[in-house]
Structure 1
Amino acid sequence: MRRPALAAVAVAGALVLGGCGGSDGSGSGGGDAELSVGSAYMPQPVSDMAAGFLTITNDGAAADRLTSVSSDAAGQVTVHETVDGAMRQVEALDIPAHGSLVLESGGNHLMFEQLKRRPKQGQKVPVELRFDRSDPVTIEIPVKPATYSPKTGH
């Protein structure tokens, strides 16, 4: 029971130290939503869990939802929302028409659990994003230093 608690503390630390923004990743889905992905990054993990941050922009006339995420680098990737400082796993997150879904430190984010290996700074983690209406989008999330903050670039 102690090990999951330590992992949770390590991930919480990474969430506090990270931020939103960063490097690239893009793609588009089918349907009425027109999705692109950018500002993706993962702080270098310090345990067998990691957080992922990115922005999904919808330039289309129809709303969509991020429904699931997978990666060969992790046994499981879950979608979390943060409300009043408490994070919880959710089934999906909305992407408004002509708007964005921002996954950022201290807010909504991805959790990579049961990492098969700990990615190092400079590597990229392949990820597939799946949506309610649009086709899946595959991106590579760059791994940044554990203390990376997009506002300062380090």
Structure 2
Amino acid sequence: MRRRPAVLTTAAALAGALTLAGCSGPDSGSGSGSGSTRAELSVNGPYMPQPVSSDMAAGFLTITNKGGAEDELTAVSSDVAGQVTMHSTMGGAMREKTSFAIPAHGQLVFKSGGSHLMFEKLRRTPKQGQTVTVKLTFAKSGPLTVEMPVKSATYNPSTGH
């Protein structure tokens, strides 16, 4: 019977140490690794097909979240457009959205035929070989600025043409 209190004391001390170790705030540490309790966002494969009209263009990219918390894309802007809107496409119907969730350890994919960005009221028509600067704003994370290359109007990222 004497060992039982020692075991309980050791277990209580271990539980207390683990509790204190878990008390660090979301801004402490580097935030890297799969145990992060915040979003860790990066952008891959951004591109804009050369617009076929002088007032509107589309944009595509993938936002990857390696962190342990979800985030939300809430706004997109660019100096090339009067406004940039976000759209989802489901069952052939395009619908404007005010935000998109980015799941923890997941991705948000904007691709041709699916969710996409619409650059409206173009101030200039981007040409193949140029880049367009795009600012992505999130609910929790800081903004990301992305250089989006302008590709041919028929560019397909899976073939590189």
Give runs of ≥4 in structure 1 deviating > 6 Å: none
Q: List alignment gaps of at least 5 residues for structure 2.
A: 1-36
Partners of 1:129 and 1:78 in 2: CA distance: 11
Q: Does 1:38 align with 2:44?
A: yes
Cα distance in 2 for partners of 1:93, 1:151 equals 24
Match of 1:79 among 50, 67, 86: 86
**Counterparts of 2:138 and 2:159 in 1: how far apart (Å)?**
32
Match of 1:67 among 55, 71, 74: 74
Per-residue displacement from partner, 1:20-66 (whole Å, max 9, x unpaired)? xxxxxxxxxxx810000011000000111000000000000000011
Task: Determine what percentage of the aligned residue pairs are the same residue.
Answer: 67
Letter in 1 for 2:123: K
What TM-score, normalized to structure 1? 0.79
User: Comparing both chains, which one has the higher relative contact order based on Cα–Cα distances under 8 Å and sequence gaps of 6 or more?
Assistant: 1
Which residue is equivalent to 1:133? 140
After TM superposition, the structure 1 stretch with the greater mean CA deviation from structure 2, 80-89 or 31-40, is: 31-40
Counterpart amino acid of residue 97 in structure 1: A
**Correspondences of 1:88-127 after superposition (within 5 Å):** 88-127=95-134
Q: Counterpart in 2 of 1:148? A: 155
Q: How many residues align?
A: 124
Q: Which residue of 1 aligns with 2:12?
A: none
Q: Which amino acid aligns with 1:151?
A: S
What do residues 64-91 of structure 1 show as CA deviations (whole Å, max 9, x unaligned)? 0110000000000001011111111101
The structure with more radius of gyration: 2
Cα deviation, 1:113-137, whole Å, max 9, x if unaligned, reads: 0000101001000000001110000
Residue number in structure 2 paired with 1:56: 63
AA aligned opposite 1:115:
L
